[in-house]
């Protein structure tokens, strides 16, 4: 679906920046109201020259494993239409990250990945990529559902949400999760239904590639998604310790898990609102267990830079290389 140019201008140049400023101001106020702010800042500065800097290094190295799992998952996903090497799949995933940084809810990742797929197979590859994203979404919703269960009482006591709202969200997520699981494990059945609809019959060739997926490969996608998920949690845990936010792994898991769930539900319209919303949610949820708002904010920023900004920069260089190859190819024709 094409978004009108005037709406894009409004979102990118007015609404996005306004939300960014408002959320940033809210975060700034929360950090300024933190008790012991000067001590926290001094602790963080000292951490960069202390042995605990290995926590930051470990977080950075985990980024390569994190995107490596996604590359392997995508390599398996498009295996039925085109066999590609792991390194090519890795490049495609990083290129997708570059595209996704400037699109709502990072939907642009599909465009970056299909650049590495042969012409005539790219639309099919995009439909297969959706299955990869769906496996990650199901994992996020399932883990978030569990996290919300453990957080329901602390959230209610802190007055973040009423008991009625918590129960409504909890069971709403449960219902949506069941529907997603049904469609996920019955993809072939879903394709057959789509093919019976006259409006979609001319696009049946796009969806036919989905019929190759059986329960074994779908479970494999889910296992890789779970691996990515826990690497994310581990990265948050390591950086929280680095920035002096002393909290247990279980508390980090439920807090960040609930944040992932909310970010999957809430539509983000721009790059800067994605970061500030994550930080705002983390301050509320991790704030249930620790009042070091400065450390929480720096952790959110650190994970965002390591997992998204750095891969996006690498992906941009890879895209420039692909464009040069394509340009030379058509100039020679």
> Among residues of the chain, what percentage have pLDDT more than 70?
71
- Encode pLDDT of 82-105 as tens digits: 888 999 999 989 988 877 766 666
- Residue of 305, 9, 286 whose CA lies nearest to 154: 286
First to last CA, the chain: 32
Burial of 176 (0-12, 13-18, 19+ CB in 10 A): middle
Q: What is the dihedral of CA 265, 267, 272, 276, to 10 degrees?
A: -40
- Encode pLDDT of 166-191 as tens digits: 888 889 999 999 998 988 888 767 66
- Encode pLDDT of 269-298 as tens digits: 544 556 777 878 888 888 888 888 888 888
pLDDT of residue 208: 67
- Encode pLDDT of 250-264 as tens digits: 999 999 999 999 888
- Residue of 181, 121, 117, 105 whose CA lies nearest to 145: 181
Give the HSE-up count for residue 193: Cα atoms under 13 Å, Cβ half-sphere: 6
Angle at alpha carbon of residue 113, lines to 110 and 115, rounded to 5°? 115
pLDDT at 55 over 80: yes
Mean local confidence (pLDDT), 34-43:
58
Structure tokens at 316: 């941009």
Mean local confidence (pLDDT), 97-122:
74
Distance CA 192, CA 131 (A): 16
In the chain, what is the greatest distance between 2 CA atoms, to the nearest angstrom?
A: 68
What are the sequence ranges of the domains in the chain? 54-331
Lowest mean pLDDT among 29-38, 79-88, 107-116, 151-160: 29-38
Distance CA 321, CA 267 (A): 32
pLDDT at 26 over 80: no
Distance CA 75, CA 182 (A): 24
pLDDT at 329 over 50: no
Place of tokens 């069941």: 178
pLDDT, mean over the chain? 78
pLDDT at 117 over 90: no
> By the 8 A CB rule, do 289 and 251 touch?
yes
- The reported pTM is 0.80
Confidence of residue 231 (pLDDT cuts 50, 70, 90): very high
pLDDT of residue 220: 93
Confidence of residue 32 (pLDDT cuts 50, 70, 90): low
pLDDT of residue 51: 80
Distance CA 214, CA 245 (A): 44
> Among residues of the chain, what percentage have pLDDT more than 90?
24
Long-range contacts of 115-120 (CB under 8 A, 24+ apart): 115/319, 115/322, 116/84, 116/88, 116/89, 116/91, 116/92, 116/322, 117/78, 117/81, 117/82, 117/84, 117/92, 118/82
Mean local confidence (pLDDT), 29-33:
55
List strand residue ranges (DSSP E) for 226-330, in order.
none
pLDDT of residue 331: 44
């Amino acid at each position: 679906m094409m978004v009108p140019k005037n709406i894009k201008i409004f979102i990118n140049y007015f609404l996005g920046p306004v939300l960014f400023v408002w959320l940033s101001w809210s975060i700034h106020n929360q950090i300024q109201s933190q008790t012991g702010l000067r001590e926290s800042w001094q602790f963080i500065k000292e951490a960069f020259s202390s042995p605990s800097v290995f926590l930051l290094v470990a977080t950075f190295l985990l980024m390569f494993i994190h995107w490596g799992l996604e590359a392997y998952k995508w390599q398996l996903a498009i295996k039925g239409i085109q066999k590609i090497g792991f390194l090519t799949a890795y490049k495609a995933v990083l290129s997708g990250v570059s595209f996704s940084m400037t699109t709502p809810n990072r939907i642009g990742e599909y465009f970056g990945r299909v650049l590495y797929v042969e012409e005539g197979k790219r639309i099919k590859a995009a439909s297969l990529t959706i299955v990869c994203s769906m496996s990650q979404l199901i994992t996020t919703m399932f883990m978030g559902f569990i996290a919300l269960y453990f957080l329901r009482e602390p959230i209610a006591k802190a007055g973040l949400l009423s008991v009625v709202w918590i129960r409504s969200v909890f069971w709403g997520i449960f219902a949506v999760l069941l529907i997603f699981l049904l469609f996920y494990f019955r993809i072939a059945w879903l394709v057959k239904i789509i093919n019976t609809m006259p409006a979609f019959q001319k696009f049946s060739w796009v969806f036919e590639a989905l019929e190759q997926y059986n329960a074994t490969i779908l479970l494999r996608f889910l296992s890789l998604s779970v691996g990515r998920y826990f690497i994310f949690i581990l990265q948050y845990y390591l950086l929280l310790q680095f920035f002096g936010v002393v909290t247990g792994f279980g508390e980090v898991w439920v807090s960040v898990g609930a944040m992932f769930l909310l970010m999957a539900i809430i539509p983000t319209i721009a790059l800067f609102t994605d970061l500030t919303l994550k930080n705002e949610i983390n301050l509320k949820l991790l704030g249930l267990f620790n009042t070091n708002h400065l450390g929480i904010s720096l952790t959110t920023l650190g994970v965002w830079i390591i997992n998204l900004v750095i891969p996006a920069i690498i992906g941009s260089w890879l895209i420039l290389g692909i464009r040069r190859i394509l340009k030379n190819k058509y100039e020679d024709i």
